[in-house]
Chains A and B, each alone.
Chain A
Amino acid sequence: MIVETGHYALVLALAVALVQSVLPLAGARLGDGRLMQTGTNTAILGFLLLALSFACLVTAHVQSDFSVLNVFENSNSAKPMLYKVTGVWGNHEGSMLLWVLILGLFGALVAGFGRDLPASLKANVLSVQAWITTAFLLFILATSNPFQRLSPAPFEGQDLNPVLQDVGLAIHPPLLYLGYVGFSIAFSFAVAALIDGRIDAAWARWVRPWTLVAWIFLTLGIAMGSYWAYYELGWGGWWFWDPVENASFMPWLSGTALLHSALVMEKRSALKIWTVLLAILTFSLSLLGTFLVRSGVLTSVHAFATDPTRGVFILAILAIFVGGSLALFAFRAAALEAGGLFAPISREGALVLNNLFLTTAAATVLVGTLYPLVLDVLAGTKISVGAPFFNMTFGPLMLPLLAVVPFGPLLAWKRGDLMAAAQRLWAAAGLALVVVIAVLAYTRGGKILAALGIGLAAWLILGSLTDLAGRAGFGRVARGVALRRLAGLPRSAFGTALAHLGLGITLLGIVSVVTFQTELITTMTPGQVVEAGGYAIRYEGTEKRQGPNYSEDAARFTLMRGTDRVDTMESARRLYTARQQPTTEAGIRTELFSQLYIALGDAGANGGATVVRVWWKPLVTLVWLGAVVMALGGIASLSDRRLRVGAPARSRRRALLQPEPAE
């Protein structure tokens, strides 16, 4: 009964979405307030129905109801409860339901918080949002119904793929989807603006916070996924330029560009047309990512051709939304008024440069990801585009961008003074140069690229701090005054500084681990000692153990510095019984920001011998911590009163009490 309720709620949600697709839009055209108001109600009702449907699927998984095909295929009665819940979205049908649930959530949020929006804009936005919901609900109901029954019901389920049985599954997909799908709001606003043929101040004030929310979640989601792959995979890689990773990275790149261009639009009402286009492109890349992951086209073009139902459906959705919105853009963009003028050397100019490089990087990743597929289809030629290609193209595109990042926030709007900015940055540049020389001296000149990379990271970190210090007036006024001024700075200033600081931290982690990591692959017998990361690591032996739904060989290692015992570590290989699938559970010891990483290979022929892989990964955690700092920057910026619509009166009062230093 619960399962049927879930299915029924899903069908009702489709009906509600259809209503929402038409009535508010019609209301906006006819100027009928009551019709426009239906958008708010249907958006909230639709979300509640989707939530009910999702709750029903969760219940079926928690109760191990194997009469449901989806539960049978992805669950097992012996599976720990956490994975029974997270297993709901650890499969195609359930994850699509989560996708639509989040889509509904964002729609409901706009409906709930959008009281101050112009009524016609809000009605248009909610209708466009409902178009997307309708398309994906049709997709789920027609090709991927999670509530499909199975008769007769089997006694036991096939269990969830073991590599997914990890706490990462509880966090990573929801975060990623909140990011992916969150860009739908920017898309809906863009399409609504094109339908209306005008963009006003409310538009920009609204789009930026929503984009920021999506961007924060996507940043955290990608970082989380990267760390998950890092520890679960068993060989310490954290970015693979895999097409599926690229699918989430492309919206991040263009979403980052969108954040910056929306800033120009909000402050200076310039770059309007470009911002609208970027909003469309960003969500289009999200849709493309969904297509790539969901259609099976990545496995091979031919696998896609043999079972094309799902793939063709999503491809159709992709074509309709991307093609439709771009066509609308082509027809209506000319109607949008272009905004303010600015000199090339200005804050706006810097942000245009940012957009230029980020968009080019996104295009490079896009073409690199799709090229093998397209070439195979068009010419029948098989080529591979992998990590070496992306490293060679993406890297050179990012370097110039990173090098100019510290200048951006120091330039004034409209017409900036490059020399003045450079003068304020001389200390940061000097210190970065010292870092380069120090690294060169430390490596005896052996690692020039590493030295330059770490210098660039230092430049980014120090540059973002310079911005804050300059705004607070350190060095110009008494320290107490400067500290008070620092505390009084608008939160968005901290947002910018933190986001750029995070970028530097991530870069530092990347350069450090790429150039200074050590790797050791060897066969060890109990009692044998190897050296890594300044430790002597003694292999003590392997023990067989039984988990709830797996059996494992756990190897113990003793860490010694000289003759002192420092710690013990454990590393295991598991065999999940239901699927007879092995996984590695790497032993990881974090030491400040660096990690010692031990993974087990195959067991040796004679008793206790095993293949062991030991990595010392200096500063590796900075790769992800940097992303967390970036997200914190986003949160700081989001909490700025200036971004909250409906709060101008209070922020003006605060501004009177505590004058902000001129930017």
Chain B
Amino acid sequence: MRLWLLRHLAGLCLAVAALAVVLSAAPAHAVQPDEMLADPALEARARDISAGLRCLVCQNESIDASEADLARDLRLLVRKRLVAGDSDQEVVDYMVARYGEFVLLRPRFDWQTLALWGTPVVVLCAGAGFAFLSWRGRRRQAGPSSLSPEEAARVEALLRSGD
């Protein structure tokens, strides 16, 4: 109920940029001590994985940062799978199989996310190509900038006669 209220408020009162962030996560009682695994290496892996998984009922929050009950359930699930001996990839695959691609904060590269992942590369290359072409076009327009041999000789002669 309180969570719902928080979200609802967020919709109404997004006064400014950071506020939404504040709203959607306050107060963040993320990972609880009782959830943490005794093995530090395993716990560190759990934190890493959790940071990449979305709390499904939150706005753009990872389960590692979220205080929602669902996020806690998912954090426990991740740890359960790790204790059972899954690799990081297997845990992520397991979560995707259960909750769909929506759970991934970094979407997989497939035909649907082609434009997403392609944007930086395409824009950079297109921009560089455009800059190069317009530079070359302008240089051609401006004509040859170097002097012809005859002109160079005349300049030389003029410079000498000036001494």
Is B83 located at the chain interface by the 8 A CB criterion? no
CB proximity of B29 to chain A, nearest CB, Å: 5
Distance A177 CA – B51 CA, assembled complex (angstroms) = 32
Residue of A89, A164, A248 contacting most chain B CB atoms (<10 Å): A164
- A298 and B119 in contact, given A240-B21, A244-B14, A341-B138 (Cβ under 8 angstroms): no
Complex Cα spacing A233 to B29, Å: 10
Tell me, in angstroms, the Cα distance from A90 to B59 when the chains sit together. 20
Stretch in A39-47, A134-142, A358-366 touching the partner? A358-366
Inter-chain CA distance A338–B107, complex, in Å, is 42
Question: Which of B22, B28, B31, B127 is within 8 Å of A228, CB to CB?
Answer: B22
**What is the CA–CA distance of A296 and B21 in the complex, to the nearest angstrom?**
14
A151 within 8 A of B: no
Q: Does A208 contact B (CB under 8 A)?
A: no
Known: A242-B60, A293-B16, A383-B104. A233 touches B127 (CB 8 A): no
Q: Mark B46-68, 1 if CB is under 8 A from A, else 0.
A: 00000110100001101001000
**CA distance in complex: A357, B25 (Å):** 32
Q: Is the CB of B21 within 8 A of A245?
A: yes
- Is B2 among interface residues, defined by CB-CB distance under 8 A? yes
A308 close to chain B: CB less than 8 A: no
Contact of A235 among B65, B112, B127, B131 (CB under 8 A): B65
Whether A229 touches B22, Cβ cut-off 8 Å, given contacts A356-B124, A389-B105, A611-B29, is: yes
A92 contacts across to B, CB distance below 8 A? 12-15
Q: Is A385 in contact with B105, judged by CB distance below 8 angstroms?
A: yes
Q: Across the interface, which residues of A come within 8 angstroms of B105, CB to CB?
A: 384-389
CA distance A107 to B149 in the complex (A): 58
A582 interface residue (CB < 8 Å to B): yes
Residues from 103 to 148 in B contacting A, C-beta threshold 8 Å: 103-107, 112-113, 115-117, 119-120, 123-124, 127-128, 131, 135, 138-139, 142
**Interface: A120 (CB within 8 A):** no
The smallest beta-carbon distance between A569 and chain B, in angstroms, is 18
Are B27 and A584 neighbours in the complex by a CB distance under 8 Å?
yes
Q: CB-CB < 8 A to B135: which residues of A? A: 344
On whether the beta carbons of B17 and A386 are closer than 8 Å, the reply is no
Q: How far is B13's CA from A580's CA once the two chains are assembled, in angstroms?
A: 17
Contact A611:B15 (CB < 8 A) given known A233-B22, A242-B60, A383-B104: no
Contacts of B31 in A (CB 8 A): 521
CB contacts (< 8 Å) of A381 on chain B: these are 101, 112
A-side interface mostly: helix
Q: Which residue of A lies closest to B138 (CB)?
A: A341
Report A231-255 CB contacts with B as 1/0, cut-off 8 Å: 0111101001111110110000000
Contact B22 A163 (CB under 8 A): yes
Cβ contact within 8 Å between A341 and B16: no
List chain B residues, Cβ under 8 A from A361.
Answer: 120
**A148-175 CB contact bits vs B (8 Å, 1 = yes)?**
0000000000000101100001001100
A226 and B18: CB pair below 8 A? yes
Question: Would you call B102 and A382 a contact (CB within 8 A)?
Answer: yes
Given contact pairs A164-B13, A242-B21, A371-B116, A384 touches B60 in the complex (Cβ within 8 A): yes
Assess whether A368 is interfacial by the CB under 8 Å rule: yes
- Considering the complex, give the chain B residue whose CB is closest to the CB of A344: B135
- Near B by CB (< 8 A), chain A positions 265-300 give 289, 293-294, 296, 298-299
- Among B25, B59, B139, the residue within 8 A (CB) of A341 is B139
> How many angstroms from the CA of A293 to the CA of B54 in the assembled complex?
21
Known: A244-B20, A383-B107. A522 touches B33 (CB 8 A): yes
User: Contact: B104 with A384, CB < 8 Å?
Assistant: yes
The interface size of chain A toward B, counting residues with CB under 8 Å, comes to: 81
Q: In whole angstroms, what is the CA distance A368 to B105 when docked?
A: 11
A289 to B124, CA, bound (A): 23
Q: CA of A176 to CA of B36 in the docked complex: distance in angstroms?
A: 39
CB distance from B149 to the nearest CB of A (A): 23
- Asked if B30 CB lies within 8 Å of chain A CBs, one says yes
Judged by a CB distance under 8 angstroms, whether B152 is at the interface is: no
How many angstroms from the CA of A299 to the CA of B60 in the assembled complex?
10
Q: Which residues of B contact A182 (CB under 8 A)?
A: none
Q: Are A386 and B65 in contact (CB under 8 A)?
A: no
Q: A298 touches which one: B2, B59, B103 (CB < 8 A)?
A: B59
Q: Which listed residue, A235, A389, A522, A580, touches B107 by the CB 8 Å rule? A: A389
Q: Does A24 contact B (CB under 8 A)?
A: no
- Chain B residue at minimal CB-CB distance from A160: B13
CB within 8 Å for A296 and B11 given contacts A164-B19, A233-B25, A385-B105:
yes
Cβ contact within 8 Å between B119 and A363: yes
A384 touches B26 (CB 8 A): no
Q: What separation, in Å, do the CA atoms of A384 and B113 have in the docked complex?
A: 11
Interface membership of A37, Cβ < 8 A? no
Out of A235, A289, A363, A385, name the residue touching B30 (CB < 8 Å).
Answer: A235
Q: Is A375 interfacial (CB 8 A cutoff)?
A: yes
Question: Across the interface, which residues of A come within 8 angstroms of B7, CB to CB?
Answer: 299
Does A303 interact with chain B (Cβ within 8 Å)?
A: yes
Tell me, in angstroms, the Cα distance from A338 to B22 when the chains sit together: 46
Cα distance A164–B21 in the bound complex, in angstroms: 12
Whether A243 lies near B60 (C-beta < 8 A) is yes
Cβ–Cβ contact A222 & B17, under 8 A: yes
Complex: A601 Cα to B36 Cα, angstroms: 15
Known: A164-B19, A234-B28. 17 other contacts (CB 8 A): A232-B26, A233-B28, A235-B28, A243-B60, A245-B21, A341-B139, A368-B119, A382-B102, A389-B106, A393-B117, A393-B120, A397-B124, A521-B33, A523-B34, A584-B26, A584-B28, A602-B32
Q: List the 10 closest A-B pairs by CB distance, nearest first.
A: A386-B105, A225-B18, A388-B106, A244-B20, A584-B27, A248-B17, A173-B16, A367-B119, A235-B28, A382-B102
24 intermolecular pairs with C-beta atoms under 8 Å apart: A74-B13, A90-B15, A177-B16, A225-B18, A225-B19, A233-B21, A240-B25, A240-B60, A242-B20, A244-B21, A245-B21, A293-B14, A299-B10, A341-B139, A359-B123, A379-B112, A381-B112, A383-B101, A386-B54, A386-B62, A387-B62, A523-B33, A573-B27, A581-B2
B-side residues, CB < 8 A to A, are 2, 5-7, 9-34, 36, 51-52, 54, 59-60, 62, 65, 100-107, 112-113, 115-117, 119-120, 123-124, 127-128, 131, 135, 138-139, 142
